[in-house]
Amino acid sequence: MQHAEYLEYARSHEPVATYTAAAGQDYGFVAAFSYGDKFIIQHGNNGETNFDVADDLDDLPGWLESPDLNPEDAIVQQANVRGSADVEEASEEDTGPFMVLQTRWWYGPTETSRMVSSDEDSYQTPLEFDSYKEAQEWIDEQESETYRLAHNEFAAPDYKIVTA
Per DSSP, 122 falls in state T
Task: Render pLDDT for 95-153 as a digit per residue (tens, 0 to 9).
Answer: 989 999 999 999 988 999 999 987 655 557 899 999 999 999 999 999 999 999 999 99
Residues 20/108, Cβ–Cβ less than 8 Å: no
Task: Give the C-alpha separation, 159 to 115, whole Å.
Answer: 9
Q: How far apart, in Å, are the Cα atoms of 115 and each of 47, 50, 79, 118, 123? A: 24, 28, 10, 10, 7
pLDDT value of position 49: 86
Mean pLDDT, residues 2-25 taken together: 90
Task: Please state the three-class secondary structure of 16-55 as a single string.
Answer: CEEEECCCCCCCCEEEEEEECCEEEEEEEECCEEEEEEEC
Task: Give the C-alpha separation, 64 to 29, whole Å.
Answer: 8
Task: Render pLDDT for 57-101 as a digit per residue (tens, 0 to 9).
Answer: 999 999 999 989 999 999 999 999 999 999 999 999 999 899 999
